[in-house]
A and B are shown apart, each in its own frame.
Chain A
């Protein structure tokens, strides 16, 4: 039983004072910082625009690179149908963005920092959105039943955050918990929901719709990223197969989300943080997760899914026993907390010390100059679950099991042949010819698309080799093991 899913990650960009940016374009200091960040994001995208003549392009991997509202560089993975494909595609996006940031820094003469987190120092939030294709029939009920799961899964896959505000200083489990205002809604930027209900199927809308989860944190730890997506895939598969998802309607989902975010440190013991159910009872958030774990357990069908279930079970057991040792190589909130705690032991720094906040950002930093992940993985402090070879290959190679296989090859072939083309998630269009529509995301061998690609590949072989520009070189660099 196959389903299609993908991730959209918005990255943060920081440029130090004196770096690329219009001097004196804003009066307030925050305005100058913002102007610098926006200038850095545009600089980062300059090779992309030169390559695709747009700030919205699809790569030969079938992925979308996009300069989003607020000038967040965004990478949307191609459609994937296995967890392995998705993890490689997500990591490929990190690699591509990091090399783009490094190249922007070289051109500007000052480093451009690339961050994969979800909040800035001024309290703005940006996202890591998950997309899952679901059957249209019953999709509203499934979405509603998943809310308690999504509210409590930060116990496992939250990225952690040092929160400094008038209420005090504390370590939250989730980056986005304080930035989520509704359970289900079609809004995105003004009132962020847990699940966005905007109906964009990007396919056959009569049969399917897209379940668009926007409450999640961006993950640095591969094991956490795997668990975040695999747990959803397993629950949706169980529901589609006639299984029952737990019926645990929460009285106040957003309030519960914020409560659960404040479960750490967990010294108070099990049952110390009950959340309210709509029927008047209360429930422990860890119990909520055990219920969903039980619903998902039988659905695992691949080694990655089994590994994700294993981490799910070990993490819930750790919450039951309040003994988290060993999980710091797999969970972001814990890995970062242990790093911060060690730093504070060594220096005596308070949790709100600027050096601690800088260390927190370094955990999420991806550029080679400031990022810690490569070192953490090389030293075994973060488990490396993806494999560098797969991640490197996914920079330019689409997943073979979905229509991204056609889109990516079409882009590569049209460019090699020097032809004008336009693509989106559904359509492939060559020059003024009628577009080929790919309505089934799981169709990786549509005959009309294959014929189109074969024609282009023939033309490309006869043509002189297409000129490569800076973005081609950046993709090649990001795709090196």
Chain B
């Protein structure tokens, strides 16, 4: 290719729009731009319609719930609110206290296990479709295409000298990127402060300082991580990309180039691959899928869309690049899902964490009792020889009604509760610390530590509410 034609090619490709069907010649002309990502040049991926493209948008649209979330109301308050100041976490009708944090831990465990099982079944499906980095990059590059044009036009703009037009486009783009960052950060913050109160505070320039600081990492993070670094983030910063290899096996279906069909690649009807580089051109991380599985591939399957469109054009069957497992490619028998130990073990683990969560949520209760035994002294001998132990009872009323309760003892023979006949009142949402003294006659103190159970009863009906076990300490 001579120098003159090369320039002509570039000019011609400037006019090519992403969603218009291309002729084969145009494909090859454009292919000079489709380069594998080596980190040196910015990736400007081509956008093409297709099955996986549509799926990607559908999954991405789930993030609308993230932005709408804070505005959902429930029983007069915000449906999802992590009220750090009052240490209460509202999720619709449910109120979680810091004590219930283990349920959150199980929920996180479930998410991680889901990630593992998805990876074992279909590779980095999460990375390619649902990861916020991928989704935000997708939206940012969509905006970029609307403002700067096709990949070729963007490349041209990048290398063009700074003039008023470039400044306007780049400045406008940066502003929109920052605004999305602000929306992301403010939305995140509004899961911790009631959203209407938050906006009121923003517009009236009120404190606390936290609400001004909290969105900053998101603004900086989205601008640097999504606006600038993009796929470099996946390459160099994301730990998940590093551990994916150990979560996949020969049965995992991943976007794969069918080498037997494709090779030898070339323009003149050798293998099925016509070497148009379109799969590289559409790749948001700039990898060449024909090299096989690699760390840069986030498995968004956009190359499958691209390749299928080309196969259709050259009248060959679709699926030169397709979701397939290594075993399928090697012609080995494919093991069904339910016979794969990895999938079975992950499923069992997920089932157990889910059971834990369900058990936790159904056994939250509205009253919690913690018993703290006095440490200094552990016990006291009284004038009549009996042994006295002191406890601090922390009664937590997680309900929304005031509580009136009585305390009772069990499991400890001879135990006398001193001065606790009167009913105790616990206001809703409060923790009441209560000093409790227990006597046991010396003759009945047979061991240095004996079991004792504190019960909380309804003061009016005497109905059992909750119990906590502790120890009664004596000289033994």
A and B physically associate: no
